[in-house]
Amino acid sequence: MNIANRGVRQLADSSRKITLEQGGLVEHYPTPKTDTTPLRLPLASQYWPEAVHEELARQHWSKASITSQIDLEAWQGFLKDLPRDPYVNTRWKRMSWLHLNDQHEVETLGECPMAQGGKFNDAASMADRLRYYAPLEESFTEREDVRAFVKAWADMWGIGPREPILMQITGVRGDGTIDPLQGQGIHADGCKYLSILVLNRENVSGAINTLYQDKAGKELLTTTELAPGEVLHIHDDQLFHSVSSITQENAGEHFERFIIIINCSFIDEFQNRMLRRHFPDAVLNDCE
């Protein structure tokens, strides 16, 4: 690990310790459970309702609930150990690169930074910058219901073996009077396939997802508020999206909103350059 990467890891680890000590988050979250035997996991091809496939083909987006396919409480238990985002101090985040191997099983790849070119990130502090984050915990990525979700998600989009999949857990929390996250402008994430899954939503209002046909926001398609366990699928190369800011419903009480973002098949050349460098055997969107 080079010096820059080691420094980011040390910062993330230090922030995690401070968060746990000051926020008392160990008591706020359930202990992650490893036994998912009570869940009856469907086959990847049967994971999503037929309406999801029809809506994606017709309108490039769809919304579904997977509360019956995952142990949502167990997934929420992994939030307490999220490190503070070293680039956005008011957020917490982990991310890992995954793929399906030739046996169609989920595997975790090595480290590769998140990289968004200026075309896909309007923030001057983020555009054309390499960002390194602590990986998702192994006890999370090896859960049976997590692997089933990733396989079903890849099957839904037609993602094949060795195509890098980026999976993030990210969000905000605190005890102040207003959420520090003031929404995100209209944007695309620089990929073909994108889904947003809400893990929890506590003492907040707002965070309304809006989809547009154009980046200027003149052709509005839909607005939706995602509840825990609901997921929004988007053809990211066909549509644009935004999320409104959130505020506390009860001022002074703990608030938080955490989501999983999962995406694949990048059209951002900056990200693809990093993927080629770190995963030379990967199948990328720009490869014939």
User: Which tens digits make up the pLDDT trace of 251-265?
Assistant: 888 999 999 999 999
Is the distance from CB of 236 to CB of 192 less than 8 angstroms?
Answer: yes
Residue 6 burial (10 A CB sphere; 0-12, 13-18, 19+): exposed
Give dist(CA 35, CA 52) in Å, integer.
29
Nearest Cα residue to 211 out of 171, 182, 238, 172:
238
pLDDT over 80 (residue 17): no
Name the least confident of 18-32, 35-49, 84-98, 127-141.
18-32
Q: Residue 143: pLDDT band by 50, 70, 90 thresholds? A: very high
| Inter-residue contact 188 to 261 (CB < 8 Å) | no
Q: Is the pLDDT of residue 27 over 80?
A: no
What pLDDT does residue 22 have? 43
Helices 50-59, 144-157: axis angle to 10 degrees equals 40
| pLDDT, tens digit, 9 for 90 and up, residues 57-95 | 999 999 999 999 999 999 999 999 999 999 888 899 999
**Res 43: pLDDT:** 80
More confident residue, 224 or 175: 224
Is the predicted pLDDT of residue 241 greater than 50, yes or no?
yes
What pLDDT sits at residue 14?
45
- Is 4's pLDDT higher than 90? no
pLDDT reading at 5 higher than 50: no
pLDDT at 41: 83
- What are the residue ranges spanned by the domains of the chain? 3-278
% pLDDT > 70, the chain:
79
- Band the pLDDT of 8: cuts 50, 70, 90: very low
Distances (CA, A) of 54 to 62, 67, 226, 240: 9, 21, 20, 20
Whether the per-residue pLDDT at 100 is higher than 80: the answer is: yes
Mean pLDDT over the full length of the chain: 85
| SS3 annotation, 12-41 | HHHHHHHHHHHHCHHHHCCCCCCCCCCCCC
Sequence-distant (6+) residues with CB within 8 A of 145 are: 36, 39, 41, 69, 70, 71, 74
Does the pLDDT of residue 25 top 80, yes or no?
no
14-25 average pLDDT score: 46
Rounded-to-integer distance, Cα 87 and Cα 207, Å:
21
User: Which one is predicted more confidently, 258 or 37?
Assistant: 258
Q: Please determine, for residue 284, whether its predicted confidence score (pLDDT) is greater than 50.
A: yes
Q: Name the residue with tokens 């091809």.
A: 45
**CATH superfamily for domain 3-278:** q2cbj1_9rhob like domain (2.60.120.620)
Per-residue pLDDT band for 120 (boundaries 50, 70, 90) equals low
Least confident of 6-15, 29-38, 94-103: 6-15
Q: Which residue has the higher pLDDT, 43 or 165?
A: 165
Average pLDDT over residues 131-150: 97
